A and B are shown apart, each in its own frame.
Chain A
Amino acid sequence: MNSFTFVRQLAWRESRAAGRRLLLLTTAISIGVGALVAIESFTDNLTVALEGQSRALLGGDLALSTRTEPTPGFRLVLDSLTRAAGADPATDLAEVTSFAGMAYVPRTAGTRLVRVSALQGDYPFYGKVITDPEGAWGRLAEGRVTLVDPAFLTSLGAAVGDTMALGESRFVIAGTVASFPGDVGVRAAFGPRVFIPARYLEETGLLGFGSRAEYDWFLRVPASLDTKPFADTWRPSVGAQQGRLKTAVEEEEDLRQFLDQLGRYLGLVALIALLLGGIGVGSAVQVFIKRKRDTIAVLRCLGATSGQVFAAYLLQAAAMGFLGSLAGVFLGLLLQLAMPRVFGAFLPLDVSVEPSIQAILTGLGVGVWVALVFALLPLLAVRRVPPLAVLRRDVEEGARRRADGWIWAARLVLALSVVGMAMLQVGDALKGLAFSAGVGAALLVLWLAALGLIRSLRRWFPHRLPYVLRQGLANLYRPANQTVAVVLALGFGAFLLGALAVMQHNLLRQLQLDGGLGRPNLVFFDIQPDQKDDVLAEIRTAGLEAQPAVPIVPMRLAAINGIRVKEMLADTMKRPVRDGERVEGWALRREYRSTYRDTSVGSEKLVVGDWWRAGAGGAPGPAPLSLEVGIASDLAVTIRDTLTWDIQGVEIASVVANLREVYWAWFEPNFFAVVPEGPLADAPQSFVVLTRVDDAAVMGSLQRAIVERHPNVTSIDLTSIQQSVEKIVASVALAIRFMAFFSLATGVVVLIGALATSRYQRVREAALLKTLGATRRQVVRIMVTEYAALGVLAAIVATGLASLGGWALMKYTFEVPFTVPWLGFGILALVLVALPVTTGLWTSLDLFRRSPLAVLREE
């Protein structure tokens, strides 16, 4: 018999006996493999779905957009561009104007903030709009009709055929839009979409002074035109008119890149699950080998070389890794079905689910490899079992021997494999290294924490506890325990979930409006000067307190310290220098929606200079100006610098008097630039009014009253906005939690594997205790103590680390105060304790069925 045949047969015969247990431990990698396969297949599907859809996503071959009302200059550029592209302005150009407005359905007396899109032309040129009733899209060309999101009808209790008021105009609801090419699901949270013909835009009177709109043009060009170089030549002139030019080809590239990134980062999560599974495999193999000492010693006595024995067990590990990965592939194919549900809301594509061969092969290969490299290190101990061990089976292994070359080689292979897989996954060597280092550090901290807890438990053992508790706790450091592996695997998943809970809790708390005593929750925008008093009166009539109206004056920078902004835009060398770099164009070009007042408000803090005295605006010379610190640094200006503003053609000079730090709370009116009352009193302006409404009925009736009297005034119910934001955060959190779940699930499998491998020992011990007179209850309580302690250990480690990480993230990245999400942590801890207790008792069930004698006989 040649050597390999012997090894193969030995591997097979050995696995016959231990098969089930070994298989269980290799399923630890199944979940990681499953996640990998699901994610790779999903991104494959996405890429396929993207193929050739880019024009439909964009709505045309070329798209132009601007956020300010198009100037004649802009129209000129648009016109020549259209002709140059060989498109017919009459049929191949569409214009879409989008803005927020209040829609009102008189029949149901319901008002709703909507996203209005006013269409002119044959938009969209590509892709299909699905409407209910079918073909309703064409009716937009017929007259005063509108098509709306289904959500609009449900929220107002309206129906197709109803009349909808928008500003001063009325539209008949001709149908609903079930699907629009390129629309991303989450956007719907910001308000339903409403499509109207652009012909009636003027009539609505909604685009008055101070309102914000976005203007888009879509172009269909002849197939012969190469859009990319065409766009490149036209981009400077479009940019000079404050517009942006996009092509379908570039959009597709961007989206492809985004999907690629998404796939890579989701893949990293799968990799984490795989690594945790690998740790589980390693730990289980270690225990397995310890138990196999006798067998190995006998084999050695009978003349097998240590190499042969090692090879046999390695072969076994590979075979089991393959089976585990195979199970993972099936799991992955199932999981893949769930992926569109979890991520669909963020994607502008409809995806069909199909298994990808490449993903399956990758999953199998990576799975087997992970099982092998993690089994390698503990398997090396096989070589050290001396034949003499047959004779001295009771003698525990002596002091740990020094690592030899083989062990170092195995460690190196393990480390290189992890780093290599991360690099391949991220597609970038440095990031891959950083990722492995990050995961390694997190695992190291978890490991140290787990080890520290166990050590201190051992050191300061609570000797006064009742016996059953003590015995349960002592089991945590019994010989051949897998406490650290289980805590690590469970803890890592819980750590990810915990960190998520911390972020969600602390960031959402920032948006909490109800808690802020009397903080405004209803905002009216775009109030024209002649409407101001009436709106305030209306609010008071409703029995509410209105805060003073805040004026908003749109201004643009004309000059800084005497140098014209126009010149600076044309010649970068003329721009001020900040930290060795020239000020960027956007800061010079942008519109500053500013206000005037003589007092500082609660949401800002002076950092440099003083606030002006009331009436300072009346003094001759340049007006004092208060700037937000961030924008001041972007403009490279500080106090005593002179800024000249252009307000609808009138120039006003100002001198920076102070710098403010602003707490940008949600939807509270805060400003980059503030000037004193006086100089801008007659400038074109609109007003914002805030109030606090606690009664839902009043909230509705007040909005209705205002929209009836002043259709151009937009009102925003911040409570509903907050709910929308929470919804979005929740769907993002769902996606992340879905991924974190893989790690936790792997932890559970490792847990089950660990408990199953040590079952033999437990059964024997329980039988012994029963022989000594322990009741079933006592035995169960010992076990519950042990498993609960495992869970508590994992919970302490995970929530502790999550708090630490979350605290650092809140303090340094988000700069918001940190509190512990006790509820979330409580639930997490409960789950972490319940998991090992239930799985533990479940794996020990048959322990109660067997007589102690039968167990003790098994020598």
Chain B
Amino acid sequence: MIRVEALSKEYLSGGRPLAVLKDITLEIPTGELAAIVGPSGSGKTTLLGLLAGLDRPTRGRVIVDGTDLTTLSEDGLAAFRAERVGFVFQSFHLIPTLTARENVEVPLELRGEEAGSRADELLARVGLQGREHHYPAQLSGGEQQRVALARAFSNRPRILFADEPTGNLDQATGQRVVEILLELNRELGTTTVLVTHDLELARLTRRIIRLADGAVVGDTLAGAAAG
């Protein structure tokens, strides 16, 4: 379970503090499928970064499964991510010097685990069998994002964060990526937090959190949740 308590984030902008997130409190139960939506600049990426421990809040706390992220050291946060978190980014962020399969293996290897057949399984799962040994540059955008998805799930994360995973993809490809994402969420019971502009996509989720100007302006449970 993710608990956010009175979370604020300010950036220094031109010497003056600029409040990007203002006193946000919310709870995301284990296994939840939630979407964060809102206009550009409303603080979605910032919130996601704080939930994943990629950045530190100005005030407030983020508690994941009982652990207060704000008390962890830099390496403690890294261990936390290696242990429990998966990521998908709008612009894929694959390591260009590694093949598709090696990219998928990275999170496991960082934990010192034998990657073995799991990478192949996952790649097959996202429909990329036969492309294991291709470098990112040899894959299309949609294919790269599917590799990124396989990578996100390789360490069996308890939580998956996705920042506009379909933003750089055409609609059909985006659709396919989302389907895989939802399937995996369902099968593995992964808590999933999705940032998106795409209301079509948001509608597929169980819960929609609306941000505007750094504050939560709406939090609705959708009846049409998939699953």
- A residues with CB within 8 A of B: 394, 396, 466-467, 471, 474-475, 477-479, 765, 768-778, 851-854, 856-857, 859
Contacts and interface: CB of A to CB of B under 8 A. Distances in A.
B81 A772 contact: yes
Nearest to A854: B55
Nearest to B45: A857
Contacts of B93: 768, 771, 856
Nearest to A855: B54
Contact of B78 (A474, A768, A770): A770
B89 A774 contact: no
Contacts of A772: 81-82, 87, 106-107, 110, 151
A463 to B, nearest CB: 9
Contact of A474 (B80, B87, B97): B97
A773 B55 contact: no
B109 interface: yes
A408 B157 CA distance: 55
Contacts of A396: 137
A775 B93 CA distance: 18
A778 B110 contact: yes
16 contacts: A466-B109, A466-B112, A467-B109, A467-B110, A471-B98, A478-B97, A479-B96, A772-B82, A772-B110, A773-B83, A774-B78, A775-B75, A775-B79, A852-B54, A853-B45, A856-B89
B56 A851 contact: yes
A771 B85 CA distance: 9
Contacts, number: 81
Nearest to B91: A859
Interface of A is mostly: helix
A449 to B, nearest CB: 22
Interface string B19-45: 000000000000000000000000001
B95 interface: yes
Contacts of B106: 467, 769, 772
Contacts of B82: 772-775
B189 interface: no
A776 B74 contact: yes
Contacts of A479: 96-97, 137
A391 to B, nearest CB: 13
A857 B98 CA distance: 22
B110 A774 contact: yes
Interface string B153-195: 0010000000000000000000000000000000000000000
A765 B95 contact: yes
B97 A773 contact: no
Contact of B55 (A769, A774, A851): A851
Interface in B95-135: 95-98, 105-107, 109-112
A145 B112 CA distance: 85
Nearest to A463: B102
B137 A768 contact: no
B179 to A, nearest CB: 23
B60 interface: no
B119 to A, nearest CB: 13
Nearest to B111: A773
Interface of B: 45-46, 49, 52, 54-56, 74-75, 78-83, 85, 87, 89, 91, 93, 95-98, 105-107, 109-112, 137, 141, 151, 155
Contacts of A474: 97-98
A774 B97 CA distance: 17
Contacts of A778: 110
Contacts of A467: 105-106, 109-110
Contacts of B95: 471, 765, 768-769
B146 to A, nearest CB: 15
Given A474-B98, A774-B78, 4 more contacts: A770-B78, A770-B81, A851-B54, A856-B54
A771 B56 contact: no
A856 B82 CA distance: 18
A857 B91 CA distance: 10
Contacts of B107: 772-773
Contacts of B137: 396, 479
Nearest to A467: B109
A477 B110 contact: no
A773 B91 CA distance: 19
A773 B79 contact: yes
Nearest to A768: B93
Contacts of B105: 467
B75 A394 contact: no
B152 to A, nearest CB: 9
A475 B95 CA distance: 10
A517 B98 CA distance: 60
B96 A478 contact: yes
Contacts of A478: 96-97
Nearest to A480: B96
Closest 6 CB pairs of A and B: A773-B82, A467-B109, A853-B49, A773-B81, A853-B54, A853-B55
Nearest to B94: A768
Contacts of B96: 478-479
A771 B97 contact: no
Contacts of B54: 771, 851-853, 856
A567 to B, nearest CB: 83
Contacts of A853: 45-46, 49, 54-55
Contacts of A776: 74-75, 78
Nearest to B81: A773
Nearest to A778: B110
Contacts of B80: 773
Contacts of A765: 95
A771 B75 contact: no
A747 B149 CA distance: 42
B64 to A, nearest CB: 14
B62 to A, nearest CB: 13
Nearest to B56: A851
A455 to B, nearest CB: 15
Contacts of A851: 49, 54-56
Contacts of A466: 109, 112
B36 to A, nearest CB: 15
Nearest to A851: B55
A492 B171 CA distance: 54
Given A394-B141, A478-B97, A765-B95, A773 B85 contact: yes
A23 B73 CA distance: 37
Contacts of B110: 467, 769, 772-775, 778
Nearest to B11: A854
A793 B219 CA distance: 58
Contacts of A854: 55
Contacts of B81: 770-773
A93 B117 CA distance: 98
A394 B96 CA distance: 11
A774 B85 CA distance: 12
Nearest to A473: B97
Contacts of A769: 95, 106, 110
Interface centre among A769, A772, A778, A853 (most CB of B within 10 A): A772
A233 to B, nearest CB: 79
A768 B107 CA distance: 11
B78 A775 contact: yes
B53 to A, nearest CB: 9
A771 B74 contact: no
Contact of B97 (A475, A777, A859): A475
Contacts of B85: 773
A501 B80 CA distance: 52
Contacts of B52: 771
Contacts of B111: 773
Contacts of B83: 773
Nearest to B163: A856
A771 B81 CA distance: 7
A481 to B, nearest CB: 9
A466 B105 CA distance: 12
B78 A773 contact: yes
A768 B152 CA distance: 12
A392 to B, nearest CB: 11
Contacts of A770: 78, 81
